[in-house]
């Protein structure tokens, strides 16, 4: 019998153990195709309002 955890970890606790939260903090910026401004990926550009 392999050792098993007594309880299922909630999504939050599982994330904390793997520390994936730390990697999500690193925000990558991409250049907007329309106005060449720095914007967040998958977000509407703050400068021109386009995706």
Angle ∠(22,25,27) on CA atoms, nearest 5: 140
The span of 1-9, 14-22, 28-36 binding Zn ion (CB under 5 A) equals 28-36
Number of residues that bind Zn ion (CB under 5 A): 7
CB 34 within 8 A of CB 50: yes
Contacting Zn ion (CB under 5 A), which of 29, 30, 35, 51? 35
| Helix intervals (H) in 1-51 | 11-18, 20-24
Cβ 50 to Zn ion shortest distance, Å: 6
Contacting positions for Zn ion (CB under 5 A): 32, 34-35, 37, 45, 47-48
């Amino acid at each position: 019998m392999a050792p098993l955890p007594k309880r299922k970890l909630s999504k939050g606790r599982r994330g904390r153990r793997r520390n994936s939260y730390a990697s999500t903090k690193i925000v990558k910026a991409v250049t907007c195709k329309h106005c060449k401004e720095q914007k967040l990926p998958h977000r509407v550009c703050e400068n021109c309002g386009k995706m």
